[in-house]
Amino acid sequence: MIMATYVDGFVFAVPKTKRAAYKKIAKEAAVVWKKFGALDYKECRADDVKPKFVTFTFPTMAKAKPSEEVWFSFIVFKSKKHRNEVNKKVMAEFEKKGEMPDMPFDMKRFAYGGFTTEVE
């Protein structure tokens, strides 16, 4: 029996020159989310963004500039309730450290959503 899950998903554009800085932040974040119970944590950089017959692509959605790369990230939880519990602990951890890291991309073009998993 497969357990239903809940996913937080993110799409955003990172300047190519800031890829290493973002990956460093993402690796640190993955450790924290998993420490507090996230089932999975993925950071994915787009490399096939112009498929045939698709008119609305991730770069279009993220308003990516030629100097930027589109990233799709997601964190998997047991349920929405579990997500809320984990995220509360994660935010407390970041506050305990004193500050949230400065993101190396334009947060005004950062898309987020919480998703109920319908098919696994």
Please provide residue 105's backbone torsions phi and psi, each rounded to the nearest 5 degrees: -155, 170
User: Into how many domains does the chain fold?
Assistant: 1
pLDDT at 1: 47
Copy the structure tokens of residue 26: 């993402």
User: How far is residue 58's CA from residue 10's CA, in Å, rounded to a whole number?
Assistant: 11
Whether 61 is in a domain gets the answer: yes
11-47 residue pLDDT tens: 999 999 999 999 999 999 999 999 999 999 999 999 9
Helix (H) or strand (E) holding 25, with range, is helix 19-35
Whether 74 is in a domain gets the answer: yes
The model's pTM is 0.89
Whether 1 is in a domain gets the answer: no
Instruction: Name the DSSP class of 56.
Output: S
Whether 34 is in a domain gets the answer: yes
Specify the CATH number for the domain of residue 84.
Answer: 3.30.70.100
51-81 residue pLDDT tens: 788 889 899 999 999 999 999 999 999 999 9
Whether 67 is in a domain gets the answer: yes
Structural domain containing residue 59? 6-116
Whether 17 is in a domain gets the answer: yes
